[in-house]
């Protein structure tokens, strides 16, 4: 690299970026203590059947209740933790917290709906995800069908051996695998032919624009999920027009602010208690056709 290039790089390293780096540095400094002090929390965002408008499950989402900064969203710390090796500890914590809640709801006498947790590509590459999850299930006496697993499409894409092997093993152990952010730009029909997955979660960018062209694209993705025989959950549903769009195309399931925002465990628990919001009519398996 030439000197000229070097200085070019130095020049784009502005004060904003400097601030961000310093900020990340202090955040990382706090992580270990934060885990010990249990500052991380699991929020639950319900998934709905749009036809019945009832809850069919939820996604567990990490939040950091920082003593001085307040509630920090995962977009601030997940990528950072992935780069710095903390993601493994955080995810183990979130998976366990989720299992603990599920056990609590069963003990309270409720039939809990499945909850999905997120698995980072880094987790797959740095630990035995299957063994870790089975250990958690054992400790909380849970069936694998209750703890569903979300893996983003980009993790699947390059298909390193470790990812293929891990996913196959998880499926043999009866975990349900959801492909997160489906259609976010990397997948192809061909890839899906070779990949093991149970449920697709439609990337929320498909719902950004309200127009005929967006509708056509969305339609082809919904059809694709049907050809593949896979249930589809639309993510990021915020407006009535999106609900109408999706229903018209035959997409049954959705997760989004239109129905519910991610909420503290206690609020989700209250929702579970309120039978009116919860769909216990089937065995928990999602349908493919409307
Ligand atoms: P994700 O797994 O795709 O989760 C869905 C995200 O979409 C959540 O953001 C949720 O709050 C947001 N969302 C849901 N409905 C709507 C809507 O109607 N409108 C809008 N604008 N957003 C909506 P969140 O909680 O901020 O999480 C962001 C990402 O951080 C997640 O995306 C996931 O990739 C990652 N993440 C969150 N928790 C964990 C975790 O425990 N472990 C790991 N490895 N990653 C996590
Ligand atoms: Mg997810
Ligand atoms: Mg994910
Ligand atoms: Mg997603």
Instruction: Indicate the pairing of strand 115-119 with strand 54-66.
Output: parallel
Query: What would the two tokens of residue 251 be?
Result: 């997409």
pLDDT score recorded for residue 157:
81
Q: Report the separation in Å between the CA atom of 61 and the middle of ligand 1, taken as the mean of its atom positions.
A: 6
Banded pLDDT at 15 (limits 50, 70, 90): confident
pLDDT per residue over 226-261, tens digit each? 888 899 999 999 999 999 999 999 999 999 999 999
Can you give the pLDDT at residue 247? Answer: 95
In the reported structure, the alpha carbon of residue 36 is separated from the centroid of ligand 4 by a whole-number distance in angstroms of 28
Best mean pLDDT range from 95-109, 151-165, 175-189: 95-109
Residue 177's contacts (CB-CB under 8 Å, 6 or more residues apart) are 148, 149, 151, 167, 170, 171, 196, 197, 198, 199
Q: Which residue has the higher pLDDT, 72 or 30?
A: 72
Q: In which band, very low, low, confident or very high, does the pLDDT at 27 lie, cut at 50, 70 and 90?
A: confident
Q: Is 98 in the pocket of ligand 1 (CB under 6 A)?
A: no
Q: Cβ(262) to ligand 1 under 6 A?
A: yes
Average pLDDT on 185-204 reads: 79
Q: Is residue 70 packed enough to be buried (19+ CB in 10 Å), middle (13-18) or exposed (0-12)?
A: exposed
Phi, psi dihedral angles at 255 (to 5 degrees): -135, 120
Answer yes or no: is the C-beta of 94 below 6 A from any ligand 1 atom.
Answer: yes
* Burial of 184 (C-beta count, 10 Å sphere; 0-12/13-18/19+): middle
At residue 69, the 3 state secondary structure works out as coil
Rounded Cα distance, 123 and 65, in Å: 23
On whether ipTM exceeds 0.95, the answer is yes
pLDDT of residue 2: 46
Residues ≥6 apart with Cβ < 8 Å to 161: none
Ligand 1 centroid vs 120 CA: distance in angstroms?
12
Neighbours of ion ligand 3 (CB under 5 A): 118, 150, 152, 180
């Amino acid at each position: 690299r030439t000197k000229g290039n070097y200085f070019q790089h130095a020049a784009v390293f502005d004060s904003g970026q400097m601030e961000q780096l310093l900020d990340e540095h202090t955040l990382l400094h706090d992580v270990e203590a934060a885990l010990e002090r249990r500052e991380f929390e699991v929020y639950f965002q319900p998934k709905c059947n749009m036809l019945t408008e009832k809850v069919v499950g939820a996604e567990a989402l990490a939040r950091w209740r920082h003593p001085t900064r307040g509630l920090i969203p995962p977009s601030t710390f997940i990528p950072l933790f992935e780069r710095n090796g903390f993601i493994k500890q955080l995810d183990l914590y979130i998976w366990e917290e989720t299992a603990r809640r599920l056990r609590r709801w069963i003990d309270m006498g409720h039939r809990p709906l499945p909850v999905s947790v997120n698995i980072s590509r880094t987790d797959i590459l740095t630990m035995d995800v299957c063994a870790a999850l089975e250990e958690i299930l054992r400790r909380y006496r849970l069936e694998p069908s209750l703890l569903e697993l979300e893996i983003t499409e980009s993790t699947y894409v390059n298909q390193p051996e470790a990812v293929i092997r891990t996913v196959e093993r998880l499926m043999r152990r009866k975990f349900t695998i959801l492909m997160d952010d489906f259609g976010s730009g990397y997948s192809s029909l061909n890839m899906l032919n070779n990949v093991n997955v149970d449920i697709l979660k439609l990337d929320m960018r498909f719902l950004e624009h309200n127009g005929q062209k967006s509708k056509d694209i969305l339609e082809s993705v919904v059809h694709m999920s049907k050809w593949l025989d896979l249930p589809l959950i639309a993510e990021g549903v915020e407006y009535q027009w999106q609900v109408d769009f999706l229903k018209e195309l035959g997409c049954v399931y959705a997760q989004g602010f239109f129905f519910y925002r991610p909420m503290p465990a206690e609020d989700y628990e209250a929702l579970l208690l309120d039978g009116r919001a919860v769909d216990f009519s089937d065995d928990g398996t999602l349908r493919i056709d409307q």
